[in-house]
Amino acid sequence: MYKPLALAIVLALSGTAISLSAAEEGKAITEIKTKTQAAVAQGWAYQPLKNPELPVVKQKSWVHTPVDTFILAQLEAKGIKPSPDADRASFIRRATLDTWGVIPTPEEVQAFASDKSSKAYEKLVDRLLASNRYGERWGRRWLDLTRYADSDGFNADGTRPNVWRYRDYVIKAFNEDKPYDRFIQEQLAGDELFPGNQEALIATGFLRNYPDEVNARDLNLKQVEIATDLTDTVGSVFLATTVGCAACHNHKFDKISQKEYYQLQSFFVNASASDDIIAATGKQKEEYELKLAKWEAATKDIHDKQENLIRPIIDKAEADRLLGFVPATRESITKPESERTAYDRWIYHRNLWTMQGRTRNAVNQLKTKDKDGYEKYQKLEAELKKFDNIKPKHPGYISAMTELGHAEAPPTYVLANGIYDRHLEEVQPAFLSLLTSEKPNIVPTVTSSGRRSALANWLTSTTNPLPARVFVNRVWAQYFGRGIVESVSDFGKMGTKPSHPELLDYLASNFIKEGWSVKKLQRQILLSNVYRQSSAEREDTKVTDPSNKLLASFPRLRLDAEQIRDSLLLASDLLEEKLGGPSVLPPVPSNFNAGNAWLTSTDPHDYHRRSVYVFTRRNIPYPLLETFDMANPQLVHSKRDVTTTAPQALALINSDLVFQWSQALAGRVLREAGNNESAQIDRLYQILYARLPDKTEKATLLSFLDSQEKIAKKQLADGKKVGVPEGFGESPELRNNIDKLYKTAYGRSADRFEKIAFLEFLEKQKQAKPKSAQSEDDADSNSPQAAKDDAQKLNKARAAAFLSLVHAAANSNEFSYRF
């Protein structure tokens, strides 16, 4: 089998016809065998990218984009026909959930369903990709990979108040279709490659996102832990390679030696986190610094007096703190600045973190141990406030990774069994020989080693086959629930083999050719016929392709945590569309018992922000999102789990918060559909499911209303409260009067929360009326008013029944699945 191949290669290389002796031919065949075996041993993923020709298929009319040819070729080889197209309503719901993370509105569904133009699908996809919601959806999935969280983790789990800027950077990058190669470069070495570019500096938050124990006392160990995290994260996210397995010994399966692992780690040993970089540049920064200098000069005497009061406490605390470090750490901290090595500088800078809050702690000690001193300090604080009129507003800080203004990097050693203080040979930066024989081109700058720049440039080189392959596979997995390589973060020997290897290489090579455009990549997938297929179950493929790897039909997927919460909010007409900014803390269950770790946001509008903006606390996740398998921010989260557990159903049915959303949804339906119950059910289905109910469903739901109404009547007769749709029983006149009141007082209408608060106040006032006054209002039980009240009670029972119907529909499988 090798003879024709051997001759072909020889002829191709020489460019002329050559005759080979038997010995020469045997040698050529042996060489080819050796090289082929080496390539197999090295692994398919590490071979150069190919640009495969499109397969020849029989059903050419089914092909909408080149993606379809690769899928169809395998289906035809198995004698399987693809599924017909999904109906338009199903398609727009699917595509909107996949690109935006929320369901479409009934109006959007109707517009697409009635669009008879030949470009209807193209117009829809382009509209979806152009929305800011796209970046919020796809940015969140990138954050899964980056270990993003608004807190440190470990025991203290302190807040990181500045990391939201990185989250906003990611969302903006997806919305602007930042080329993926630039996206990689900024996140790994934005400070080096693009000095002075604040956005690129914020991008290095990718590296800063590691979990951390701020109060660690062995900073030598901490230095190794952080470098290890960065190495393993980069290996997993960009190379889909389990490089971390080589930290203690040569990789057992992939061709990565322990030495190579530490050579890769040496790219990061000089990287040091900084959380106090001023978030201002140019003229804004100059103006701030001038005003700050003026304020500091005016208040210097006050600050000096305060310092004198707390300095003895701080000095003692500093001495005690220093004794808490291990000897090797103390050695680096106590060295004079002129004698510090690059390693000492890293340790010293890290040590400054443990000093955070020392002034606050000293004042607290003063309060408990020296009341006279504390009284003096408080008087000085009052004096200080008199200068608030000249104190500039702080522009905030950036959390980033830099190299502390030095080009010199600490040494990197191979560690015996991965033990941090058991040094073997020293190593220098180098790439994995598994992928290349290329040497790093490291060019130090005045303020940085240049090592991360060399790594970022190599990763984004068109000769590196992995980053493009890995990313397009992740995108494919998001759309189809399974990657072309199912083990999306492991392309090594222990990972799964690609189901469509030629398609993977086509997508990756085309991705690079199209300028690393993420939106162009996704547009090709979204407009393909394989994505357009129906998800209806098929009996004919249960034997030939039981797990649907060949994609003869579209895979059904359960919505993820953010899709469920955000879609419920959108359906209820509550979703706040504000883009970016600090993370928010919505209300949590009363028995959550998080204390100061979860202080609910003061602005009620923040309660209904998109889930990507909800505060991510490592040790105390937001309950509703955690219940539905949100990403674990402790490590690279490659693929969302999809579990089915009792707490999920209980969280939706029994949650006061979700019930309030159902009340808002029911109120919306009543406003939009009027008093006709058939129209109300139609509208509910349009909002939640993007379709109308059939006759059987409608009859079942009307019967449900009757049975629930009987239950609600009995509850009312027993003096019990029942839930009703938002706005039920409130006259339009009253709401208009509230609006008039707000326009008079504030020059605007009342928002939803203000109206609810006002109506609750009126209800409390009514209940606070003396019983005699209430009885006077209802003196004549046979009066027209009494009859009206009785009718209202009947209406209230029916309204409560409708709310129960709405709540059940919003918690159904049809809502929480994407078809």
**Over 333-372, what HEC string results?**
HHCCHHHCCHHHHHHHHHHHHHHCCHHHHHHHHHHHHCHH
pLDDT of res. 754: 81
Q: Which residues contact 766 (CB under 8 A, 6 or more apart)?
A: none
Average pLDDT over residues 746-755: 83
Average pLDDT over residues 519-548: 96
Residue 759 pLDDT more than 80? no
Average pLDDT over residues 321-325: 92
Q: Between residues 239 and 357, which one has the greater pLDDT?
A: 239
- Token look-up 């040569």 returns 250
Of the pLDDT bands very low, low, confident and very high (cuts 50, 70, 90), residue 791 is very low
What number of residues does the chain have? 819
Specify the range with the lowest mean pLDDT, choosing from 299-303, 311-315, 405-409, 763-767: 763-767
Tens-place pLDDT, residues 495-530:
999 999 999 999 999 999 999 999 999 999 999 999
pLDDT of res. 774: 52
Average pLDDT over residues 145-167: 96
Among 238, 186, 233, 185, which Cα is nearest to 209's?
Answer: 233
Average pLDDT over residues 669-681: 96
Residue 364 pLDDT more than 80? yes
Residue 779 pLDDT more than 70? no
pLDDT of res. 731: 76
Average pLDDT, the chain: 91
Please return the burial class of 446, using the count of CB atoms within 10 Å of its CB with bins 0-12, 13-18 and 19+. exposed
User: For residue 571, which phi and psi values (nearest 5 degrees)?
Assistant: -60, -35
Residue 769 pLDDT more than 80? no
Alpha carbon distance 207, 681 (integer Å):
50
Average pLDDT over residues 804-816: 97
Average pLDDT over residues 741-770: 79
pLDDT of res. 681: 98
**Over 607-672, what HEC string results?**
HHECHHHECCCCCCCCHHHHHCCCCCCCCCCCCCCCCCCHHHHHHHHHCHHHHHHHHHHHHHHHHH
Among 253, 254, 269, 633, which Cα is nearest to 420's?
Answer: 269
pLDDT of res. 222: 97
Among 709, 678, 676, which Cα is nearest to 692's?
Answer: 678
pLDDT of res. 755: 79
What is the share, in percent, of the chain residues with pLDDT greater than 90? Answer: 84
Q: Which residues contact 657 (CB under 8 A, 6 or more apart)?
A: 586, 587, 589, 624
Tokens read off for 685:
């289905």
Tens-place pLDDT, residues 685-740:
999 999 999 999 999 999 999 999 999 999 999 999 999 999 998 777 887 888 88
Of the pLDDT bands very low, low, confident and very high (cuts 50, 70, 90), residue 400 is very high
Residue 727, sorted as left (phi over 0), alpha (psi -120 to 50) or beta, turns out to be left
Residue 2 pLDDT more than 80? no
pLDDT of res. 742: 87
pLDDT of res. 787: 44
Residue 12 pLDDT more than 80? no
Alpha carbon distance 130, 526 (integer Å):
14
- What is each CA distance from 819 to 128, 212, 808, in whole angstroms? 18, 40, 19
Residue 786 pLDDT more than 80? no
Residue 790 pLDDT more than 50? no
* Contacts made by residues 320-328, CB under 8 angstroms, sequence distance 24+: 321/354, 321/355, 324/217, 325/217, 325/218, 325/219, 325/351, 326/217, 326/218, 326/220, 328/218, 328/220, 328/421
Residue 13 pLDDT more than 70? no
Spell 270-286 as b/e; 16+ CB within 10 A means b.
Answer: bbbbbeebebbeeeeee
Among 226, 218, 233, which Cα is nearest to 272's?
Answer: 226
Tens-place pLDDT, residues 276-303:
999 999 999 999 999 999 999 999 999 9
Tokens read off for 205:
């938050």
pLDDT of res. 753: 79
pLDDT of res. 21: 59
Q: Are the C-beta atoms of residues 217 and 326 closer than 8 Å to each other?
A: yes
Q: Between residues 547 and 731, which one has the greater pLDDT?
A: 547
* pTM to 2 decimal places: 0.91
Alpha carbon distance 203, 426 (integer Å):
31
Average pLDDT over residues 245-267: 97
Tokens read off for 130:
């152009």
DSSP-assigned letters across all residues of 475-536 = HHHHHHSS-SSSSTT--STTSPPPSSHHHHHHHHHHHHHTTS-HHHHHHHHHTSHHHHB---
Of the pLDDT bands very low, low, confident and very high (cuts 50, 70, 90), residue 776 is low
Of the pLDDT bands very low, low, confident and very high (cuts 50, 70, 90), residue 62 is very high
